[in-house]
Amino acid sequence: MKGKGWLTLLLLGALGAVGYRYLPAHYNPFTPLTLSDPPGRLMTFKLRRLTPPQCRALLAQANRQGLITARPVANGGGDCPLTDAVRVSDFGPVKLSSSFLASCPLALSSALFVTRQARPLSERLMGARLTQIDHLGSYACRNIYHRPNARRSEHASADALDISGFRLADGRHVTVLRGWRDTSSAPWLRELLDASCGYYGNGLGPEYNAAHANHFHLGMRGYGICR
């Protein structure tokens, strides 16, 4: 029985390998991520598996396609050194309240999130184009909640962005602080936070704790924790 069991496993493995070979690339977990991959768990899985060179190559493609404007910055030292970081100036047609520093994974995930989710959700649920994202910053050399004995925050490695509000083409300015309880904007903001699960390791909002009452914390640690 033991020999037959091993034979069965080998056959299943061979069949699985053949099956994966003929899957469309975006459904095959073993093919590299492309910018055209559809949203979903497989895209999330591939984002997490990117090597630094793969991330840089995709970010360069995103720049050329106008999904993001990001330029490399010099590596930094000190207590919270940065390596291979970029400065993000915009997400194509979606402007920023100011530029911000980002690791390559944060920059790439943000470009895809804004293009694939934030822009279409804004038009569908709010009836207007998303024109600007307001934020509270990304890089800060500190521990979580500034506690002396806590581990380093995601912000210490430019792996998180704190979004405080959104501006629409019709002139509306929706902040997380006020919009989360407003019946006209709350469904849209909740959809945005839920959608962030497919692109970031964690998305934390007003219902997570009081510290996030006025912003969405979108970070790269974890695996799709959004609340």
DSSP 156-190: GGT-EEEEEEEEETTS-EEEHHHHTT-TTTHHHHH
Position 26 scores a pLDDT of 63
Number of domains forming the structure of the chain:
2
**Residue 90, CA distances (Å) to 52, 154, 203 in order:** 22, 21, 20
82 and 146 belong to one structural domain: yes
Same domain, 126 and 116: yes
pLDDT digits over 119-150, tens only? 999 999 999 999 999 999 999 999 887 788 87
Percentage of the chain lying above the pLDDT 90 cut: 68
Do 133 and 186 sit in the same domain of this protein? yes
| Whether residue 135 is found in the same domain as residue 154 | yes
Q: How far apart are CA 123 and CA 134, in angstroms?
A: 18
Phi-psi map region of 98: left, alpha, beta (phi>0 left; psi -120 to 50 alpha): beta
Statement to judge: residues 22 and 96 lie in one domain: no
Q: Are residues 88 and 20 in the same domain?
A: no
**pTM of the full structure:** 0.86
The pLDDT of residue 117: 96
Give the pLDDT confidence of 51-98 residue by residue, as tens digits. 999 999 999 999 999 999 999 999 877 889 999 999 999 999 999 999
Length in residues, the chain = 227
Let me know whether 14 and 80 are in one domain.
no
Handedness of CA 123, 203, 108, 177 (dihedral sign): positive
Asked if residue 105 and residue 217 are part of one domain, the reply reads yes
Whether 164 and 135 have beta carbons less than 8 Å apart is answered as yes
Alpha-carbon distances of 189 from 195, 199, 221, rounded to whole Å? 10, 16, 22
60 with 17, same domain: the answer is no
Whether 51 and 100 share a structural domain: yes
Q: Are residues 49 and 21 in the same domain?
A: no
Round to the nearest angstrom and report the end-to-end CA distance of the chain.
Answer: 48
Domain that holds residue 105: 32-226
Beta bridge partners of 168: 130
